Amino acid sequence: MPVRRSPQKQTRKLSWDKAYTKELFRRYRETSDESVRDELITMYLNLVKYLASRFRNRGEPIDDLIQVGTIGLIKAIDRFDIERQVEFTTYATPTIVGEIKRHFRDKGWAIKVPRRLQELSFRVNQAIDTLTQRLQHSPTIAEIAEYLGVSSEEVLEAMETSEAYNFVSLETDRGGEGSDSFSILEYVGKDDALMAVIDDRTTLSAAFKKLTPQEQHVLYLRFFEGLTQTEIARQLEISQMQVSRLLRRTLRVLRENIVRE
């Protein structure tokens, strides 16, 4: 995939200037001018590099990852709908990461999370929901450990297993320990009907559906309107901590989609 560097080196401090990006997309949609597309590719090449770097030290040359990531970027540029109320960076990230992961999958790359930890992770998540309701605040690790009858260390270990942070676990064993267990990745991108029966978190659209309208609104105010957390809190008449929590949840969904597709 030929990627030409734009002749004029970007002088813009932040070359992913939102308004300028929109303008370029508008021009590209109207004129289908290849040079505009090239400029977009150049502008967002660093996003590809950044995302590719998150998968380095996984046995694949970084240049290869950047190359497949760039394919994802080009797909995202061609598919991006400028009418959508989403930033291009947000839109492109899962596509780029998807290509990179596909590359790993094609190389037969896989690591499994131990089943014991998966189960504990699941119980910890349930305990958090229960305790948050009961205590009317986010529980401490000690409270979760006591509720489940496990040690604080085990709770922390289970949190570490939660998918959002597992850049390593491209593949999750959803079956038993037997040879008939199957992998989510075998199904990704194959069939929408099949996708529906798998864990919600495996698709981007499903992931966005998991955000409440309020969370979507907060995300919008924070990253489109550029309001601070305090400003958002005032506008929505909620506490700044609630805003922080809402934002974190949406970020986590983004993160999960950096890991999974």
Q: Which of 44, 195 has the CB closer to other proteins?
A: 44
Examine residue 142 and tell whether it contacts other proteins (CB under 8 A): yes
Residue type present at position 207: A
Structure-token pair, residue 55: 């998968």
Residue type present at position 143: E
Examine residue 208 and tell whether it contacts other proteins (CB under 8 A): no
Examine residue 74 and tell whether it contacts other proteins (CB under 8 A): no
> Which residue's structure tokens are 């401090």?
13
Q: Which of 3, 159 has the CB closer to other proteins?
A: 159
Contact yes or no for 74/110 (Cβ under 8 A): no
**Dist CA 129 CA 134 (whole Å):** 9
Backbone angles phi, psi at 76, to 5 degrees: -65, -40
Stretch that binds other proteins, among 101-109, 179-187, 201-209, 242-250 (CB under 8 A): 242-250
Examine residue 151 and tell whether it contacts other proteins (CB under 8 A): no
The CB-of-58 to other proteins minimum distance in angstroms stands at 8
Contact yes or no for 55/98 (Cβ under 8 A): no
Contact yes or no for 124/112 (Cβ under 8 A): no
Other C-beta atoms closer than 10 Å to the C-beta of 227 total: 17
Q: Which of 5, 26, 34, 46 contacts other proteins by CB under 8 A?
A: 46
Examine residue 50 and tell whether it contacts other proteins (CB under 8 A): yes
Examine residue 239 and tell whether it contacts other proteins (CB under 8 A): yes
**Dist CA 215 CA 245 (whole Å):** 9
Q: Which of 110, 113, 117, 128 contacts other proteins by CB under 8 A?
A: 128
Examine residue 4 and tell whether it contacts other proteins (CB under 8 A): no
Contact yes or no for 68/36 (Cβ under 8 A): no
The CB-of-195 to other proteins minimum distance in angstroms stands at 27
Half-sphere exposure (Cβ direction) of 254: Cα atoms closer than 13 Å: 17
Examine residue 111 and tell whether it contacts other proteins (CB under 8 A): no
Examine residue 251 and tell whether it contacts other proteins (CB under 8 A): yes
Structure-token pair, residue 128: 């958090």
Q: Which of 181, 212 has the CB closer to other proteins?
A: 212
Residues of this chain that interact with other proteins (CB under 8 A) are: 10, 13-16, 46-47, 49-50, 53-58, 128, 132, 137-142, 144, 152-153, 156-157, 159-160, 165, 167-168, 222, 229, 239-242, 244-245, 247-248, 251-252, 255
